[in-house]
Every structure is written in structure tokens, then in C-alpha cells.
Amino acid sequence: MNGPEDQQLPNAFSRRAFLQALTGAAATYGIPRLAFPADEQGPFFSEIPPSISGITWAHVNGRSADMYLPETTGAGCGFLDYDNDGWMDIYLVNSGPCDFYTPPSRLRNALYHNNRDGTFTDVGEKAGVTGSGYGQGIAVGDYDGDGFPDIYLTQYGRSVLYHNNGDGTFTDVTERAGIAAPGWATSAVWFDYDNDGQLDLFVCRFVDFSKAKNKWCGNRLTNERSYCIPRVYEPMPCWLFHNNGNGTFTDVSKESGIAESLAKAWGVVACDINNDGWMDLFVASDTVPNFLFVNHKGKFEENGVLAGVGYSAYGRARSGMGVDAADYDQDGWTDLFVANVDQEMFSLYHNNKNETFSDAAVPTGIGSATKLMSGWGLKFFDYDNDGDFDLLLCNGHPDDKIDGRVDGVKYLEPMLLYRNTGKGMKNVSEQGGAIFSRPMAGRGMAIGDFDNDGAVDVLVAINNGTPVLLRNNAGRRNNWLGVKLVGKKSNPDAVGARLSYQAGDLKRSRMKVGGGSYLSAHDPRMVLGIGKREKADWLEVKWPLPSGTTQRFTGLPINRYITIVEGKEGWS
């Protein structure tokens, strides 16, 4: 970090301080973790500057006078432990050559290996995951169940499946797998739609676009060109690929019902909105209705409009971008969130328990706070480990010429942090740290505990800029238990598993959703916050179908990560 703002950070920590803070004691607990100087009163998040983290890579959007729409929409980022060493590595997506763009010098995606000391080293070239086109997003899943996470890279043009060889390298297996998804792919998610124990793949598709189809938008009077609102482009169907279990996939978009709905899709989250054990999909769409694909035993019925999540309350399509799902009020039913562009407000959809939702954005204050904002990456997570789902959002208007054109609307916008008080959502951005007052062109956002301290950290991908890595200071002020699930009969990543736990008077339940946010992939481990309570009494894991079994664990440790393998007693 180089700016004066960063130097003013009360808790900005130097490389020396960071290294001094290393401790070996934590290594006695399963996965090792870093220890940090105590900062009980500091901001909730601190930015780790590139000079400390070593993450000097930058996204290049290749902005041109022709204002090609993909220039303003990328890119994504992800946390994944590609080498299974117990430390979250980082993947960053860049632009690249395509029909409308020839980079003046080679652009590539980055895979930053976690050096376990707060620094990272780019091993993208060696790993063979540098991308092959105009990159958009990333989805991570162990599709072949070999224990190593694989990467699906979405691109404008043709997407790529990188199989993890287990030795620090990857192989492009797209052709064999049959999931190139030609066109403009955006977010993607791995999940098991037919409950056969294999991870399938859903890929969002944006509009029918190419260099030849690029349209002129702007002010004819002044001849000032601007990025088009996607309304002017034709929608396209999304893809659903069924995992055949042999390294190949079958395009089941039509027979599953997915292709019936024409989308301009950005974000997707896989979750179970009706608690029937079949994973549903919530897809954010831009200028057409959002989709709620309700899964009826492997066949999807699109029910977004009637469920109350397709349109605004006025029956108008908005510009849905980032999405997520979580049971934020702990009533046992999964709620949804979608971020839109300015003038539309974001929506917090509370589940009415009957496959319909009510927008709670206004009473929670989220509506007024986001009236002039445009949101992309977002995630429900318990940043302070008090046991409640909070909400973090990164923002930025898609049109870089918006400043001055619409009152109060800016191209660069700050992040927002909402704390779940148990009674509602409170905007605590002001206490979040300096980053929450810094406007930026946020796009993808991933969460992951890169320093294994149980405080879930954040990575924000910046359009045409250096990514922002945020260290969470708040989470370690409370106690926690981190859980990695390994499915055996159920899908390897246990997407769709439900964890319930009790710590004294605190009883919580949460589902492991698939995907969420925008173009990004998250730490697959779940951190269960228990506040100041000294122990977790019990933990139940309800494995997703086809298993459906429930395992109960007691005598659990706290403030460390454990791995639970489906069907095995105990943990490691």
C-alpha cells in the first residue's frame, strides 16, 4: 500500500511486525495459523498493501474508444487451497486477447501461492492457469473427487476447465470435458443439481455480444460515447452441465429447463430455498427479470417473478449483478440478496417459507443506503464471529463517465459493511476501516481466511486496478470453530450441507451454499462464530443428498480448523 491513507491506518502493520507476530504454537492445532498483535479496538478490516502481500498483479480492462461492454464488467477473484497445504491461495482473473481486444503486451491471470507468512508468490505460469482469453470469473470445485480443487475460468469467448493435477500444476481439459460454453460467460457455480453425488456446473451467460454486434450508445448531440445499458443487447440462455463422473460433462441446459429462460446473467448462488433437499439457483439478471430456478428433482422451474425476486416491487426488471443466499435471521429458511445499479436499490429478500419472498431492504436501511450505488461482489458472512450472518458489499458504477451526469452517482464507490445485530442489519461501514471510505471500482469479491486465524478475510477485484486484500481484525476478538467438509457419498465439496451447532445459549444453523457474490470463488471452509463463549457444545452435519445422513459431534475444540469426512467418526 502506497497512499497516505494507508499510512494513517492505526493498525497498518509492517512486514517486520507481521513476521515478528508469527508463532509456532498454533501449529499444534491441526491447520496452523498466524497470530497477530492484539487490536481489540481497531477497525474491523485493514488493507494489506501489495508491498507486504506481494500481490502486485493488476487487472487491465483494455478500455477502448469503442466502449466494448466487457471492459467494464471484469473481473473476478477467488480463494482456493490448490495445493492442499491448509492455506488459502489466491486466483485473479485478467482480460486477454479476443475479437475486440489485442493487448499491447501479454496479459495473464495470476495464481498466488500462500507463503504462510502473510506474503504470496505468483505461480500462475508454473501452474499453467494463466487463461486464454478475455477473462471474467472463477468457480472452484473438486469435480472429479480427487481431493484437489479444480478451476473453471469463465471468459468472454470460450471458458476453460483447469484440472488440478495434484502436483501444483493444472491441465486444460475443457475440450474433453465439453464445457467450453462459447459466448460471454460470467459467474459460474459448482453444485449437485441431481443429487447423484457429483458436482455439476451452472454457467451464467450474459448477452449476445461480439465486436461486430457492439452498439453505439451515448449522447448524439455531443457525440460523447458511453458504455451501453445491456437493454440494447439480446438475452441468451445460461448453461447447465451434468457431470458424467468420468471427466466429461453433458449439456443438459434444455432438458433441465434452464435454457427456457433467456438471461443477461451476472451472479449466481446455489441454495435450497424450500428445504426440500434439492439445490435451487438464484440468478441475477441485468434489465431482464432475475431467475429463481426451483429444482424439482433435477428439473428446474423458473419462478422468480411469482416468487417476488424477479422484479422490483413495481414489476420492473432491474440490473441485478451480485447475489448471495443465507438464513440471516435464523428462521430456518434461506434468504436472498441481490445488488442492482443506482436508483434501483439493492434487495434483501426475506423467505416467506412458501417459495415467495418479501423485500426487507427498506426496513433494514439497506434500501436507502444503496439508492445511489451499484453493487457487484457481495457476501453474507460472520465477520465478527458472533454467530450471526453479516453482509459485505463492494460497489462501483459500470459507466466510467457517470460522474456529474446523475446527481450523487459516482463511478468509484466505497464498500459497505452491515452488521447483523440479531434484530436487524446495521450499517457499520464507518467502523470498518479506511477502506470503507475509499471509492473504488469494485467488481469481484471473495471471502477466505488467508491467515488461518478464524477471522474471514476479503479479497476485492478492482476493474483496471490492483486487487484489494483485506485482513479481518474483528473475527479473532471472538471464539470460533472452522470446519472443512469432505463429502463421500454426497458431492466432494459438500455443497448443500447444513451445519447446526450450539455453544451455550447460542444455537445456529447454516447451509453451505454454492457460489454467491460476483465472478468469484470463496474459501470452502465454514467458520462458526460463537462469540465469547468458551466452547462449542455440539455440531451436527446434515450431508446433502444422496447421502442425507446426519452426524453429530461433541467435545469439539475451538479457535482452530477441523476436517470432517462424511461417514467417518471424529475429525482431524
Partner 1 sequence: MRQASTLACLIFMSRFMNRFLLLALTLGILAGSGRAQSGTRAAATDGSSAAQRGIGLVDEGRCQEALPVLKKATPLTSDKQLKIKAGLAMVRCGLQSNQTEAAVNALLWLNREFPTDPDVLYVTTHAFSDLSTRAALQLATSAPLSTQARELNAESLESQGKWDEAAAQYNLILKQQPDVQGIHYRLGRIILSKPATPTTADEARSEFQAELRINPHNAGAEYVLGELSRQAQQWEDAIEHFSRAASLDASFADAFLGLGFALNSVSRYAEAIPPLQRGVKLQPENPTGHYQLAVAYNGVGRKEDAKLEVRLQKEAEEKIEQARQKASEVPQ
The distance of closest approach from Cβ of residue 319 to partner 1 in the complex, given in angstroms and rounded to an integer, is 14
Q: Quick check: 406 binds partner 1 (CB under 8 A)?
A: no
Q: Quick check: 372 binds partner 1 (CB under 8 A)?
A: no
Q: Quick check: 362 binds partner 1 (CB under 8 A)?
A: yes
The distance of closest approach from Cβ of residue 345 to partner 1 in the complex, given in angstroms and rounded to an integer, is 11
Q: Nearer to partner 1 by C-beta: 126 or 316?
A: 316
Q: Quick check: 306 binds partner 1 (CB under 8 A)?
A: yes
Report how far residue 517's alpha carbon sits from residue 339's, in angstroms, rounded to the nearest whole number: 9
Indicate which single residue of 213, 316, 532, 552 sits in contact with partner 1 (rule: CB under 8 A).
Answer: 316
Q: Nearer to partner 1 by C-beta: 19 or 306?
A: 306
Number of Cα atoms under 13 Å in the Cβ half of residue 386: 10
Q: Look-up: residue for cell 469481484?
A: 444
The distance of closest approach from Cβ of residue 226 to partner 1 in the complex, given in angstroms and rounded to an integer, is 13
Residues numbered 448 to 477 that lie near partner 1 (CB under 8 A) are none
Report how far residue 163's alpha carbon sits from residue 141's, in angstroms, rounded to the nearest whole number: 10
Nearest to 314 by CA among 283, 346, 344, 357: 344
The distance of closest approach from Cβ of residue 64 to partner 1 in the complex, given in angstroms and rounded to an integer, is 23
User: Any alpha helices (H) in 102-204, and if so which ranges?
Assistant: 124-127, 174-177
Report how far residue 531's alpha carbon sits from residue 570's, in angstroms, rounded to the nearest whole number: 24
Report how far residue 154's alpha carbon sits from residue 71's, in angstroms, rounded to the nearest whole number: 15
Contact status, residue 541 vs residue 497, Cβ threshold 8 Å: yes
Instruction: Compose the 208-247 pattern: x for residues touching partner 1 by CB under 8 A, - for all others.
Output: -----------xxx---------x----------------
Q: Encode 419-447: b = buried (16+ Cβ within 10 Å), e = exposed.
A: bbeeeebebbbeebbbbbebebbbbbbbb
Number of Cα atoms under 13 Å in the Cβ half of residue 486: 17
Q: Quick check: 423 binds partner 1 (CB under 8 A)?
A: no
Residue 350: all three cell numbers together: 426475506
State whether residue 222 is helix, strand or coil: coil
Taking contact as CB under 8 A, which single stretch among the options 262-270, 352-360, 442-450, 526-534 is the one that binds partner 1? 352-360
The distance of closest approach from Cβ of residue 367 to partner 1 in the complex, given in angstroms and rounded to an integer, is 9
Q: Quick check: 311 binds partner 1 (CB under 8 A)?
A: yes
State whether residue 397 is helix, strand or coil: coil
Q: Quick check: 315 binds partner 1 (CB under 8 A)?
A: yes
Indicate which single residue of 248, 274, 330, 358 sits in contact with partner 1 (rule: CB under 8 A).
Answer: 358
Indicate which single residue of 119, 169, 171, 356 sits in contact with partner 1 (rule: CB under 8 A).
Answer: 356
Q: Quick check: 19 binds partner 1 (CB under 8 A)?
A: no
Q: Quick check: 352 binds partner 1 (CB under 8 A)?
A: yes
The distance of closest approach from Cβ of residue 26 to partner 1 in the complex, given in angstroms and rounded to an integer, is 47
Q: Quick check: 317 binds partner 1 (CB under 8 A)?
A: yes
Residue 6: all three cell numbers together: 494507508
